[in-house]
Amino acid sequence: MDILVCPVCKGKLELKVEEENETEIVTGSLYCRGCDVHYPISEAIPNLLPPDQRC
């Protein structure tokens, strides 16, 4: 988490965990206060694409 930053503004990301196992976060989100954007975590993979580039 210390090396992850918002891809848009390079701000600090806050982690919200919904589901985790012994080794990783399975679902949740990363939130940037600077941009007011949530980046989803699904199947243990964070989607750090800017909102306008997600499908």
pLDDT in tens, 6-46: 999 999 999 999 999 999 999 999 999 999 999 999 999 99
Parent domain of 47: 13-53
Kindly state whether residue 6 falls inside one of the protein's structural domains. Answer: no
- How many domains does the structure of the chain reveal? 1
Kindly state whether residue 4 falls inside one of the protein's structural domains. Answer: no
Looking at the predicted structure, is the pLDDT value of residue 2 above 90? no
**Tokens 């989100």 map to which residue?**
29
Kindly state whether residue 3 falls inside one of the protein's structural domains. Answer: no
Residue whose C-alpha is closest to residue 31's, from 8, 54, 22: 8
Kindly state whether residue 2 falls inside one of the protein's structural domains. Answer: no
Q: What pTM value is reported for the model? A: 0.84
Kindly state whether residue 42 falls inside one of the protein's structural domains. Answer: yes
